[in-house]
Amino acid sequence: EEAIAAHGRLCYGRERNASARGAGRIVCRPECPNALIEANPLYPAAKLRIDELNAEERAVYATLKPERLPQHVAIIMDGNGRWAGHRSLKRFLGHQQGANSVQLVTETASRIGLPWLTLYAFSLENNLRRPRAEVNFLMRLLRTYLESNLQRMMDNNVRMKYIGRTHELPAEVQEKMRWAEQATAGNTGTTLTLALNYGGRSELVDAFRGLADEMKQKHITPAHITEEDIHRHLYTAHMPDPDLLIRTSGEMRLSNYLLWQIAYTEIFVTERLWPDFKGIHLLEAIAEYQLRERRYGGLSDSVGEVEENPDQITIVAN
Ligand code: IPE
Ligand code: IPE
Ligand code: MG
C-alpha cells in the first residue's frame, strides 16, 4: 500500500481502469470488479479443444474459417417461458431448462477457444416488471446454477464475470456470484460474462456519472470528451465490442442490451427457443456470421476504384 501511496491511489470499485500507467494512476485491488483484464490472444491453438466437440458440432466447425472467428459473442437468451408454455409446463421449468443451455453453449464456446461470451440472463426491467415469485425463482436458480456448475467451469477453463447493477441483487446471490468469480479468476479460457440486473441505458447513466466525476476531478471540459472516455466508463471497458449478437425466440428487438457496444455488431435472430439452443446452434450462428460482410460505414472490398471523376457528374435536382 505504501507503493500505491507513492505512485497512485487505490480504486475502490468505482473507477474503471482509469489511467493504467504513470504517476497518479488508479490501482485496482485484486478483488476489484474493474480490474483490467487482458483479452486473450485470439484463439491460441493450444487452447482449442476441438476433439471435445461432438460429431455434429465438429462437422459444422469444419466449415468455419478459423481466421474469421468472432472474438466476442453476446446472446439475448429469450424464450424460456414459451418453451415451457408449449409443453403446458410452468415458466419456472423453462428457466431451469434454459440454465442447462447456458452450460452447454458455454462449454462449446470454450472448446473452440472463443475469448468472450456475454449472456443476458436477467434484465433490470425483468427485475422491476416480473412477478416477485418469478424473480425470486430466478435468483434461486442462479445460486444453484453457480454452485452446481463451478466444477464444470473449472474443467473448461472458463472465467466468470458479471455486468449490471449487481449490487442491487439479494446479498446471498451476490455472495455466490463473488465466490464463482473468485474461484474462476485464474482461468485463462473463455470469459463468460453474465448480464444480471443489467440495462443498457442504466449502464450509460452509470458511465456518465463516472465520467462526470472524473471530469470534475481533472478539470476537463465537455468539448474534450471522446468516445474512448465513454467506453472506459462502461461495465464492458475491458472487453472488445461484440462481433456477433444472437437473439433466440425470434423477437426483433434489443430489449436494452449493450446499446453502446453493438454499434457495428452483426445480429443473428433465430426462432429457436433458448432451452432448445445448444452448442451446435452457436456454431451455426458463427457460420452465418462468417458470410456477412462488415463494412463499418465504408465500401465493400469488391467495389473497385471509382472510375469516373465525381466532379464531372451533373447533379440533377429532383
Ligand atoms: C428469457 O426467457 C429469460 C429471462 C428473461 C429471464 P423469458 O422468460 O423471457 O421467456 P419468454 O420470452 O416469456 O418466452
Ligand atoms: C430480454 O428478454 C432479457 C433477457 C433475455 C434477460 P425479455 O423477455 O425480457 O425481453 P422483452 O420483454 O421481450 O423485450
Ligand atoms: Mg422473453
213 C-alpha to ligand 3 centroid (Å) = 36
Between 70 and 45, residue with greater pLDDT? 70
Q: Is the CB of 126 under 6 A from ligand 1?
A: yes
184 C-alpha to ligand 2 centroid (Å) = 28
> What nine digits make up the cell of 109?
464456446
Q: Tell me what pLDDT residue 301 has.
A: 81
Task: List the one residue out of 20, 118, 130 whose CA is nearest residue 71.
Answer: 118
Which of these is catalytic: 34, 80, 126, 197? 126
pLDDT at 172 over 90: yes
pLDDT at 98 over 80: yes
Q: Is the CB of 126 under 6 A from ligand 2?
A: yes
Least confident of 19-28, 141-150, 260-269: 19-28
Q: Tell me what pLDDT residue 14 has.
A: 52
> What nine digits make up the cell of 178?
463473488
Q: Is the CB of 256 under 6 A from ligand 2?
A: no
Active site (annotated) includes residue 197: no
How does pLDDT run across 31-40, given as a tens digit for each residue? 555 554 443 4
Q: Tell me what pLDDT residue 88 has.
A: 98
Taking the C-alpha atoms of residue 241 and residue 71, their distance in angstroms, rounded to an integer, is 9
Least confident of 139-143, 232-236, 243-247, 300-304: 300-304
Taking the C-alpha atoms of residue 277 and residue 170, their distance in angstroms, rounded to an integer, is 29
Taking the C-alpha atoms of residue 199 and residue 168, their distance in angstroms, rounded to an integer, is 13
Any idea which ligand is nearest the CA of 81? Answer: 1
Task: List the one residue out of 132, 73, 109, 88 whose CA is nearest residue 266.
Answer: 73
Candidate of 80, 145, 169 to mutate for ligand 1, largest count of ligand atoms within 8 Å of Cβ: 80
- With vertex at residue 299, the alpha carbon angle to CA 295 and CA 305, rounded to the nearest 5 degrees, is 150
Taking the C-alpha atoms of residue 59 and residue 114, their distance in angstroms, rounded to an integer, is 18
Any idea which ligand is nearest the CA of 273? Answer: 1
CA 108 to chain centre: 16
Beta-strand ranges (E) seen in 50-129 are 72-76, 116-123
pTM of the model: 0.86
Report the mean per-residue pLDDT for the chain.
Answer: 90
How does pLDDT run across 273-290, given as a tens digit for each residue? 999 999 999 999 999 999
Q: Tell me what pLDDT residue 37 has.
A: 42
Active site (annotated) includes residue 127: no
Q: Tell me what pLDDT residue 21 has.
A: 45
18 C-alpha to ligand 2 centroid (Å) = 32
- In the structure, what pLDDT confidence band is assigned to residue 18 with cuts at 50, 70 and 90? very low
Residue bearing the CA closest to ligand 2, atom 2: 78
pLDDT at 141 over 90: yes
Average pLDDT, integer, range 97-101: 98
The dihedral built from the CA positions of residue 303, 308, 313 and 316, taken in this order, carries a sign that is: negative
Query: 297 φ, ψ to 5°?
Result: 85, -5
> What nine digits make up the cell of 79?
424464450
Look up residue 72 and give its DSSP letter.
Answer: E
pLDDT at 225 over 70: yes
122 C-alpha to ligand 2 centroid (Å) = 8
Q: Is the CB of 253 under 6 A from ligand 2?
A: yes
Taking the C-alpha atoms of residue 272 and residue 120, their distance in angstroms, rounded to an integer, is 16
Nearest ligand 2 atom to the CA of 122 is 6
Candidate of 163, 252, 255, 270 to mutate for ligand 2, largest count of ligand atoms within 8 Å of Cβ: 255
Candidate of 76, 77, 82 to mutate for ligand 1, largest count of ligand atoms within 8 Å of Cβ: 82
CA distances 257 to 151, 195, 216, 262, Å, are: 29, 9, 29, 9
Taking the C-alpha atoms of residue 265 and residue 259, their distance in angstroms, rounded to an integer, is 10
Q: Tell me what pLDDT residue 20 has.
A: 44
Q: Is the CB of 122 under 6 A from ligand 1?
A: yes
